[in-house]
Structure 1
Amino acid sequence: MNQRTMTYHLFRVGKVWHYRFQVGGARTQRSTGERVRGRAEQLAGLAYRDALLKSGANCNCPTLRELVRLWLDAHRQTASASHLQGVEIFGRLHLYSLADTAISNLTTAKIEEARNLHLGTHAPNSVNHWSRIIRLLCKWAAHRGMIDAVPFTVKMLKVQRKPRATLPVSLSLDWLRTLDELGRPPVQIAVRLMLGMGLREAEAASARWEWLDAARQTYTPGQTKGREAEPVPVPAWLIDYLRPFRKPTGLIVARTDGRAFGRGFTRASIAIASRRIGIDRITPHRLRGTFATLLSENGAPVQVVQKVMRHKSVLTTVGYLESDLTHAAKAQQRIAEQCGFA
């Protein structure tokens, strides 16, 4: 019978770190003699590994490289393309010295060392994404019984939040006209689906005519990131725009051969149109952020915005909303007039 892998447990007695674990039915508990957790974890990890080697136990414990492959195999039919790509890139380029380490031997010190290597060539945001992926993999391993629990604790880095661009209302029509001048009808339709209903680019690429109810002015996405099937309202202007292209069934946006477009098919056109009218940092996903922000600014409660955006958590929705400073600017003007500054 295969023995289930158990990781070591680190705890303090006074100011000194101790560890304990059980391998092959034998329980081991020792003092590391260290007061610094990182050094204590290294000693505990070495002791645990040596005990596994001496016992010859069949621990059913993959290396991190193997775990990436197992996760990809298990989720290839269920996870989104972007999620799969993120884990695949992590496994191919960003394992560093952890690649051939058994996941039961991963420690906070080892993770932090690899994270620092990643930080040397990547922005803090990317480093936090790296940390989330390795934790995701290990949580899945624990769920599958490969390890008892995630064997490390690593906090996210504090990241300076940068202002994110939204499409200015005053320039929206000029921006769409400029986009249309590029002569790429599928992109023109997809962008309006994203801007008018808050669809993700992949959802616009998979949108189908049979999911659109023009009479009720609703659209029910049948292929979404979170597997939801919730109807969203369709504005009248978008219904009017789509009417000349209407078909009974099939993709709303398709290649000339009828196949769906791949990831990023709107990005180049959006960048060109934005550059021509002087708007910076507009991306396909920022159109979704623009949609959410405009809903909020025009009185939609955040719970309503959450439902339309199909977010499971309202905190995710809040992260999409950019602050509307119009009210603050008007208040500042009134204060200036009251003080006699105006």
Structure 2
Amino acid sequence: MMTYHLFRVGKVWHYRFQINGVRVQRSTRDTVKHRADIVASRAYRHARTWSRGDTPIPTLRELVAQWLIVHQPTASRSHIKIVDAFARLHLYELGDVLLDEVTTERVEAARLEHIRSHAPASVNLWLKVLRLVCNWAVRRKVIPSLPFEVKLLKVQKRPRAVLSVAVAQQWLAEVDRIAGAGRGVAIAVRLMLGIGLREAEAITAHWEWLDWDRQIYTPGITKGREADPIPVPAWLIDYLGPMRETAGLIVAKADGRPFAHGFTRRTMLRANEACGVGHITAHRLRGTFATLLSEAGLPVQTIQRVMRHKSPLTTMAYLEVNMSQVVGAQRRIADRVGFRSNAESEHSGEEVANAVAESA
């Protein structure tokens, strides 16, 4: 009995079959019938082997589409955006491959295609998304295990910018000047710097979540679905006070609508250039918040709770080294060893001379 049907469209052979009432039709991408027959036979065999209920094993493109449908209501907007871009732009030759035929060799070939126009960090993100959707298929028992083994690339880490306290006021003034009459960006920037909100959390911040008496803000829409209170510094309370409302968005357009993701970026980049500071972005403002807490002496566990991270390792990745503390430690080590630089000797001599003059 015929299990599948081969037919030609132009010079290329296609196949179709039906399993559990579900019709499958695809191209073999081959113009020679006996080779096309092998492709069709393999596709039918795999579909029969891995079919679950009424759904045969999907192609990678179909799997990602299913993942987006299932996770659209629950995953964060940024997460959905990343997977959607992967589906639209970066499937390469893997898109129409049946899931259990996504081999190591095919993944490596697609990764080589991706790396031609993307940075290594982007290539690793691409691989993580591929693993994400394939592991989801494993959990749903569409396939028994991950069908490929490809390691992440080793990526050279780059120095990350932190907004210096010495220029913070000047930088905020530039943000205000560039933003002009619209205060949305200015408010969002202060929420990110003052209480460590993500940009998405600043966009969805509500007045009713701010306890003015206790000076506590509890974000109601977060990446990790938690609702942990965050102390609000007095300077931020003073800044928000004149704009106080009983309810609604804290950061909103003139017509009351929310801003889009990334709305603070252009203003911050212009402020960076005007003040001569590093690449401060919404994410780096959150990193600045965490680093300043660390420099103030807070333990990692406390910062982890304020940042609402699931793991302290994530928190530690946000913290930058306080170089002034390193310099102080170097001086103490030099004193113990007996090293003295010329500059320190001259400075020490000046201090002694000044002390003698004052006592005379």
Bucket of the pairwise TM-score, normalised by the shorter protein: 0.7 to 0.9
What does residue 275 of structure 2 align with? 277
SS in 1 for 2:129: helix
**Counterpart pick for 2:251 among 245, 250, 253:** 253
Per-residue deviation, residues 93-150 of structure 1 (Å, max 9, x unmatched): 1111101001111111111111111111111100000000000000111112211111
Show the 5 A alignment for 1:255-334.
Answer: 255-334=253-332
CA distance in 1, matches of 2:84, 2:274: 36
TM-score (norm 1): 0.83
CA distance in 2, matches of 1:51, 1:89: 30
CA distance in 1, matches of 2:59, 2:322: 48
Cα offset, 1:213, TM superposition: 0.5
Which moved further from structure 2: 191-200 or 314-323? 314-323
Q: Which amino acid aligns with 1:268?
A: R
What does residue 114 of structure 1 align with? 110
SS in 2 for 1:170: coil
CA 240–117 in structure 1, closer or farther in 2 if over 3 Å, else same: same
Per-residue deviation, residues 213-235 of structure 1 (Å, max 9, x unmatched): 01111100000111111111111
What does residue 133 of structure 2 align with? 137
What does residue 224 of structure 1 align with? 222
What does residue 29 of structure 2 align with? none
CA distance in 2, matches of 1:327, 1:259: 45
Show the 5 A alignment for 1:29-68.
Answer: 53-54=44-45, 57=48, 59=51, 60-68=56-64
What does residue 172 of structure 1 align with? 168
Structure 1 residue runs of 4+, over 6 Å off? none
**Counterpart pick for 1:105 among 101, 104, 108:** 101
What does residue 20 of structure 1 align with? none
CA distance in 2, matches of 1:187, 1:207: 13
CA distance in 1, matches of 2:239, 2:304: 26
Number of residue-to-residue matches in the alignment = 296
CA distance in 1, matches of 2:130, 2:315: 25
User: Is contact 1:49–1:105 with CA below 8 Å preserved after alignment?
Assistant: no
CA distance in 2, matches of 1:131, 1:173: 41
Q: Which amino acid aligns with 1:170?
A: A
CA 307–203 in structure 1, closer or farther in 2 if over 3 Å, else same: same
What does residue 33 of structure 1 align with? none
Q: How much identity, in percent, do the aligned residues show?
A: 54
Cα offset, 1:168, TM superposition: 0.6
CA distance in 2, matches of 1:326, 1:247: 41
Cα offset, 1:341, TM superposition: 2.1
Cα offset, 1:54, TM superposition: 4.9
Cα offset, 1:171, TM superposition: 0.4
SS in 2 for 1:311: coil
The answer for unaligned runs of 5 or more in structure 1 is 1-46
What does residue 161 of structure 1 align with? 157
Q: Which amino acid aligns with 1:215?
A: D
What does residue 86 of structure 1 align with? 82
CA distance in 2, matches of 1:246, 1:294: 27
Q: Which amino acid aligns with 1:291?
A: F
CA distance in 1, matches of 2:47, 2:189: 59
Which moved further from structure 2: 324-333 or 125-134? 324-333
Q: Highest Rg: 1 or 2? A: 2
Q: Which amino acid aligns with 2:168?
A: S
CA 296–55 in structure 1, closer or farther in 2 if over 3 Å, else same: closer
Q: Which amino acid aligns with 1:64?
A: L
CA distance in 2, matches of 1:122, 1:150: 25
CA distance in 2, matches of 1:48, 1:304: 58
Per-residue deviation, residues 296-323 of structure 1 (Å, max 9, x unmatched): 1111100111000001111111111111
CA RMSD in angstroms, aligned pairs only? 1.8
Relative contact order, higher structure (CA 8 A, sep 6+):
1
SS in 2 for 1:339: coil
Cα offset, 1:199, TM superposition: 0.1
What does residue 150 of structure 1 align with? 146
**Counterpart pick for 2:193 among 192, 195, 207:** 195
What does residue 239 of structure 1 align with? 237
